[in-house]
Amino acid sequence: MNASIPLEDFFEDLIAKSMRGHHISESELVEKTGVPRDILARLCRGEFCDETALVKVAKALSLDPRTLTMAASKVWRPRSVTLDGLALFNMPYRDMHVNAYLVWDPTSLTGAVFDTGTDSSVITAQAAELGVRIESIFLTHTHNDHLADLDRLKSAAPGATAYANRAEPWPGTQLFSEGSSFTIGALRVKAFTTSGHSKGGTTYFIEGLSRPLAVVGDALFAGSMGGGMVSFADAWKNNREKILTLPDDTLLAPGHGPLSSVGEEKRNNPFFSAEFA
C-alpha cells in the first residue's frame, strides 16, 4: 500500500528536530561532542561523512546511535502492507505530500475519513467505487494541510459528522475529549490526545479489522516524529506512552510518509528505539 511513498524525514531532519526540541545550537553541540564544526555542519546538511561523529551527536541529542546510523545509511524503511478496510491517499501540498485515510467496516461498508488532504474527491470516489458510506470525518489536528478540503468533503458526504478534539476546536465539527469512543460499523475507535506537534493532536486507535490500526496524524512518522511545535517534551512523552505502548502489530497511519507499525518503530525509530532495546 505504501511502497512508493518516501520516508518523511532524512537523518539530518532528525538531528534538526532534536536540536530544536532540546534547544541546542550548533555551537553548543560542537562544545558538547567535540565534533569539529565543519564535520557537524556537513552532518546537519545531510552528508553522512563521519560515523564516529554521528554517534557522538546522537548521544548528545538523546537519539539512538544505532538507528540514527541506519537512517543515515538509508538501510531501513517499513515493510509495505495492505489491510482490508484501509485506503491511504497521499496528496501533494505545496512542496510536500500529506496523507488522508478512508477506513471502513468490510461487513457493513460503513466508513470514516481521517483528515482530508488537499483533494477529498479521490477519497469520495474510492468510497463510491467500494460501496462505502462515509458517516464520520475525524481530524487528527487542524493544520491546513490536513483539513484543506474539509468543506468539499462535508458537501460530498452531507450525512457525515465531523469530529475534532476539544483542545483544538474547528468550526462545524463536533468536539470530543480524551478517551472518547466512536464506532465505524462494527469497528471500535478510541481517541487519545497526543499533543506536542499541535495543541490537540489526536491519535485514533481502531480495533475490529484484521489487525489494530492507529491513525496518528503528525505525532509520529515512520522512523521519526512530528516537530514539537507546541512542546517537544510533550510530543515525545505522548508518543512513548500512548502510541508505542499499543500492541506491536498495530499498523501506524501517519500524516506524512509511509505506513509503519508499533513494533517497527520501537526497533527502528532513533527517537525511541533505545527505550525499547
Residue 192 has a pLDDT of 97
Q: Which single residue is written with the C-alpha cell 481521517?
A: 114
pLDDT at 54: 98
Scanning the structure block, which residue is given the C-alpha cell 479489522?
209
* CATH numbers and ranges of domains, the chain: 11-73 (1.10.260.40), 86-276 (3.60.15.10)
Q: What is the pLDDT of residue 3?
A: 72
Cell of 259: 505506513
Work out the angle at residue 259's Cα, subtended by the Cα atoms of residues 255 and 263, and round it to the nearest 5 degrees.
120
Backbone angles phi, psi at 212, to 5 degrees: -65, 155
Mean pLDDT by 10 residues, the chain (277 residues): 89 98 97 98 98 98 98 96 97 96 98 97 98 98 97 96 98 97 98 97 98 98 95 98 98 98 98 94
pLDDT at 154: 97
What pLDDT was estimated at residue 277? 84
Q: Which three cell numbers stand for residue 163?
A: 469530529
